[in-house]
Structure 1
Amino acid sequence: MEGIDKHGMSSERLKRIERFVDETYVATGKLAGAVTQVWRRGGLALNSVLGFADRERQVPIAEDSIFRIYSMTKPITSVAVMMLVEQCKIALDDPVSKYIPAWEKLGVHAGGFMDSFQTRPPARPMLVVDLLRHTSGLTYGFQQNTNVDAAYRRLKVGELATDGTLDGMIEKLATLPLEFSPGEAWNYSVATDVLGYIVGKVSGMPFDVFLKERIFDPLGMVDTAFHVPEEKVARFCACYAVGTLGSKVVSAQGPELQDDPRTSPYLKPPTFISGGGGLVSTAADYMRFARMLLQGGELDGVRLLGPKTLALMTTNHLPGGLDLPRLSRSMFSEATYEGVGFGLGFATTITPAATLIPGSAGDFFWGGAASTFFWVDPREDLIVVFLTQLLPSSAYPARRQLRTLVYSAITETGG
């Protein structure tokens, strides 16, 4: 008979999650290591720590290992924006040009290449809500889809490993056309980096200082930052890539070292403070952030947002109520299946049956480029944080497998 713990989950099936991650990914060398935490009904139901933080030096992964969370930075930046919305310092329907006047005349790409772009006026101005839900018309250079994102690559717009600045990125974007008129499509983009710039302008303090003073310190997120200080380097994970970065060709030796934690650019403060992908964090820190979200904006007596604001953020905001596959022009996203919409900083499940994966209407989530992932399911009083370091996140189906494994371990459903 299966044991059932106090979290309404099968103890045997929780062990099955750890066995699966170990046997499928860690023992096979597909992942150097992984931390998996499952929070339900007020406590950790699973805290699995497997493999190596640094395979080359044989450093075991630990519960307090520090990971590059890449795009899991985006929900944090989005919370920062909504904190200012609650203070009426920003409105979701404000034109972005209110905060970036140089963008007032941005046109939509109508033809041509960099240095000879042809543009047409957008159907409407870009709004703050477009930045939060990725309907702004901006893009990422790594999309490798259009002449516009080719210009992003040439100018290194939004790239983490540059000596550029946030102000410099905003200036470059003022010279480039939009992919489409705001609100017409969904495209994964540097929009969240732009939100970081706006937070800095509106709050009157540097964006990274705002995050530390208004989010990290109040929540006790002691290891979350834009770089790894010297005294924490021993806890910093190596990052790996599958074959040639961006491909799915696995070499005979397994994933290759992509970023050595002893020589990483993350060991010094960056000049480009990326609200879209620049943070490092730990499982404990990100779990505290996710618990704040689960509890409607409050944790341990510290309230960052009101519950109605969180409800607004986790509702599908895609035009026409469409899901991502039907509105997306993006060649890459951290969410790829049907039945998923996008709110203000998170993807959210709108039609569970269409996903073909267990879940709940209203659960919300996102991931990072190095295969990190989290989701929050208010209906099931559930949080899952999965941290590893393998680029790209599309290399293996670990995320959907993890959802299947976690939901199959629930024995007492919340609704």
Structure 2
Amino acid sequence: MIQRREFVLAMAALASGGARASAAPARKGLAAIAPTMQAFVDAGTIAGAVTLVQHEGKLVHLAATGWRDIEQRAPMSTDTVFQVMSQSKPFIATSVGLLLDEGKLKIDDPVDAFLPEFGDQWLLVRGDPNERVLARPSRKITIGDVLSHSSGLPDAAPVTHPFAVKMRYSLAEVVAVLSQQPLEAEPGARWRYSNQGIAVAARIVEVVAGRPYENFVEQRIFAPLGMKASCYRPAAEVWPKIAADYELREGRLREMENGSPGYGALKLRQGTRYPLPEAGIFSTAEDMARFHQMFLDGGRTKGERLLSPQAVATLLMPRIAIPPERGMSGSAQALGWRIQTAAGNGLAAGTIHHSGAFGSFGWADPQRHIVGVMLVQRPGAVDERKAMTKLVAAAYEKGEIA
């Protein structure tokens, strides 16, 4: 009997019709993207991909390659639904921007003005298995701090691990537990990635708006942008359209294991209470392009204004450098978004972007007026991402973007 891992690889080879031995013909411009993604499929590093490019607001490339589900022998399609994971974070910032426009909060407001449970925080000065030394932080954490990963909040609280446990709680409960953890750095002092810190901002939106966070996003962002395929809790009829989630183990593609957001009932959010605001959006390439294009258009969509120019400028202002050891050299953290401060890997300076834990990536380049989206379902996928961004940049420079 063929073992599961051998079966996965066999199906990956079938996706290319057994064409691994022959190189694909060279193609120019954006036409090179699909064959390049197919080469990764043939090599067994990804199951499949959906890639999209818009220039000057017009769709100039949209392609699906490989498999949506290898074992089901279901081919990838351009309307395949993906878990975009941390690409959900800019939606939290956008939600805050909407409330900023309404005068209901300010970026420098302290978190405890909306969440009183954060009113008595401590800073961990020194900690070891036998002793913890605490002191008061120099100031309170702000909305801007949590949206820029500079609050000093830990990445997790006791109820957040394992993932399956966290999903049993509400957003309010998870954030309440987080509020009782000491800060790991002074507010605003340094960049320290914190999923749960970002979720604090989502809870503030929930409190200020007076409705569940995911409902706010669906009504105030998805609906105006026409993101009809996007959601936090996919309906049963959407399940067959969701891409299977894989990871590379021992050099082979394997389906994600039980207990992760990429497997079984948790993947479909069945029986969960936590909306996973920091990483919970299901979406398509065209929907994600609409969101990125809105920022490229200064807050407007379909002729209507969603965010004010002031709110867009506030959200996109670089606030703190991201350490180069994070693999994002030349980038800074804004509110929810990352900003390219120096050109690199095909991204021009000033480009806004974000990746997802399952390999997805999206960017909006104000210099070239380009929006790009690459959706895959495999953690990392850095080589695949760089290949696409470099191909798009090369096509632009050679005048082959159309």
TM-score by length of 2: 0.86
CA distance 1:262–1:171, change in 2 (3 Å): closer
Q: Residues 277-292 of structure 1 correspond to what in structure 2 (within 5 A)? A: 277-292=279-294
Secondary structure class of the residue paired with 2:198: helix
Q: Does 1:386 align with 2:386?
A: no
Give the letter aligned to residue 229 of structure 1. Answer: A
Give the letter aligned to residue 250 of structure 1. Answer: G
Q: Does 1:70 align with 2:85?
A: yes
CA–CA separation in structure 2 for the residues paired with 1:21 and 1:84: 40
- Give 1:376 deviation, angstroms: 0.3
CA contact (8 A) 1:236 1:261 kept: no
- CA offsets, 1:168-202, max 9 Å, x none? 11221122111101011101112221111000100
CA–CA separation in structure 1 for the residues paired with 2:361 and 2:57: 20
Secondary structure class of the residue paired with 2:43: coil
Paired residue for 2:29, among 13, 22, 35?
A: 13
* Corresponding position of 2:22: none
* Corresponding position of 1:272: 274
* Corresponding position of 2:315: 313
CA–CA separation in structure 2 for the residues paired with 1:203 and 1:74: 18
Q: Does 1:377 align with 2:365?
A: yes
CA contact (8 A) 2:123 2:183 kept: yes
* Corresponding position of 1:176: 181
CA contact (8 A) 2:175 2:199 kept: no
- Give 1:263 deviation, angstroms: 4.6
CA distance 1:413–1:256, change in 2 (3 Å): closer
Q: Residues 18-33 of structure 1 correspond to what in structure 2 (within 5 A)? A: 18-23=34-39, 25-33=40-48
* Corresponding position of 2:394: 408
Q: For this pair of structures, how many residues does the alignment match?
A: 370
* Corresponding position of 2:225: 219
Give the letter aligned to residue 385 of structure 1. Answer: V
* Corresponding position of 1:296: 298
CA–CA separation in structure 2 for the residues paired with 1:129 and 1:298: 23
Secondary structure class of the residue paired with 2:173: helix
CA distance 1:82–1:158, change in 2 (3 Å): farther
Unmatched 5+ stretches in structure 1: 1-10, 142-151, 244-248
Paired residue for 1:205, among 206, 211, 231?
A: 211
Secondary structure class of the residue paired with 2:59: strand
CA distance 1:116–1:163, change in 2 (3 Å): farther
CA distance 1:112–1:293, change in 2 (3 Å): same
TM-score by length of 1: 0.83
196-205 vs 228-237, which deviates more? 228-237
* Corresponding position of 2:103: 88
Paired residue for 2:355, among 364, 367, 380?
A: 367
CA–CA separation in structure 2 for the residues paired with 1:250 and 1:296: 43
CA contact (8 A) 1:162 1:272 kept: yes
Paired residue for 1:156, among 137, 157, 160?
A: 160
Give the letter aligned to residue 356 of structure 2. Answer: G
CA–CA separation in structure 2 for the residues paired with 1:338 and 1:283: 26
CA contact (8 A) 1:31 1:255 kept: no
Secondary structure class of the residue paired with 2:323: helix
Give the letter aligned to residue 100 of structure 2. Answer: V
Unmatched 5+ stretches in structure 2: 1-26
Q: Does 1:236 align with 2:247?
A: no
Q: Residues 93-132 of structure 1 correspond to what in structure 2 (within 5 A)? A: 93-112=108-127, 117-132=132-147
CA contact (8 A) 2:101 2:307 kept: yes
CA distance 1:131–1:374, change in 2 (3 Å): same
Secondary structure class of the residue paired with 1:284: helix
CA contact (8 A) 1:219 1:289 kept: yes
Secondary structure class of the residue paired with 1:126: coil
CA contact (8 A) 1:233 1:262 kept: no
- CA offsets, 1:374-409, max 9 Å, x none? 000011110001101012x2x542222222111001
- Give 1:114 deviation, angstroms: 8.2
Give the letter aligned to residue 408 of structure 1. Answer: A
CA distance 1:34–1:366, change in 2 (3 Å): same
CA contact (8 A) 2:289 2:373 kept: yes
Secondary structure class of the residue paired with 1:380: coil
Give the letter aligned to residue 229 of structure 2. Answer: D
- Give 1:412 deviation, angstroms: 4.3
CA–CA separation in structure 1 for the residues paired with 2:161 and 2:311: 31
Q: Does 1:343 align with 2:356?
A: no
Give the letter aligned to residue 337 of structure 1. Answer: M
CA distance 1:121–1:263, change in 2 (3 Å): closer
CA distance 1:163–1:380, change in 2 (3 Å): same
- Give 1:340 deviation, angstroms: 0.7
Q: Residues 352-363 of structure 1 correspond to what in structure 2 (within 5 A)? A: 352=343, 355=344, 357-363=345-351
CA contact (8 A) 1:219 1:302 kept: no
- Structure 1 runs of 4+ with >6 Å offset: 259-262
Percent identity between the two aligned chains: 28
- Give 1:290 deviation, angstroms: 1.2
CA–CA separation in structure 1 for the residues paired with 2:212 and 2:271: 13
CA–CA separation in structure 2 for the residues paired with 1:404 and 1:412: 14
- Give 1:359 deviation, angstroms: 2.7
CA distance 1:164–1:158, change in 2 (3 Å): farther
CA distance 1:12–1:412, change in 2 (3 Å): closer
- Give 1:204 deviation, angstroms: 1.1
CA–CA separation in structure 1 for the residues paired with 2:370 and 2:227: 20
Paired residue for 1:324, among 322, 325, 342?
A: 322
